[in-house]
Amino acid sequence: MPIRIRWLSKDYVGVALMLFGACGLFQAIFILIGQVFLGVTNYFVMILIPIGIIIAIFYGTVIIFEGYAQVRRREKLRSQFKGRTEKNAFKKFLHFPITKPILIMSSVFALFFFILYLILNIFLEGQLAFVISEISAAILFLFIANGIERYLY
């Protein structure tokens, strides 16, 4: 049975805020890329669309976080030995609970966004290509997050 974390409890509200802040920061980087490098100048596109995208990618990172929490719990229950400590700083960084969902989110979203933008920019105006590629990348990321959750269980 999958774990469902109560995000408003005192234990997980900090994790939820860190995930939401990371998603907001990631989307702020895409706003900067859109305005400076891609030439999207419509403020409605640069303000309203990213708000919805932040909520969508936050939901996807929460799904991935819950999947990895389930895996950690299962490994902890199966293993009778104390967990070993990692000496490598990079491995310690990767084993931090919110790192994997954020890395998966940023890599998948950026990959889909730039591929879709490069394809759509050939056929459409830059602003329209930006909007369609950003929304499509968020939807594809939600599909990937759902697939990761099903794979981990």
CA atoms within 13 A on the CB side of 43: 0
| Residue 116 is assigned to a structural domain of this protein | yes
pLDDT in tens, 8-35: 666 778 888 888 898 889 898 888 888 8
Domain count along the chain: 1
| Residue 7 is assigned to a structural domain of this protein | no
Q: What is the largest CA-CA distance in the chain?
A: 59
| Residue 6 is assigned to a structural domain of this protein | no
Tokens of 122: 């050939």
pLDDT in tens, 85-129: 667 777 777 777 788 888 888 999 999 999 999 999 999 988 899
| Residue 83 is assigned to a structural domain of this protein | no
Q: Which residue has 């329209």 as its token pair?
A: 128
**Cα dihedral 33/38/39/42 (nearest 10):** -70
| Residue 41 is assigned to a structural domain of this protein | yes
Domain that holds residue 51: 13-78+92-152
| Residue 121 is assigned to a structural domain of this protein | yes
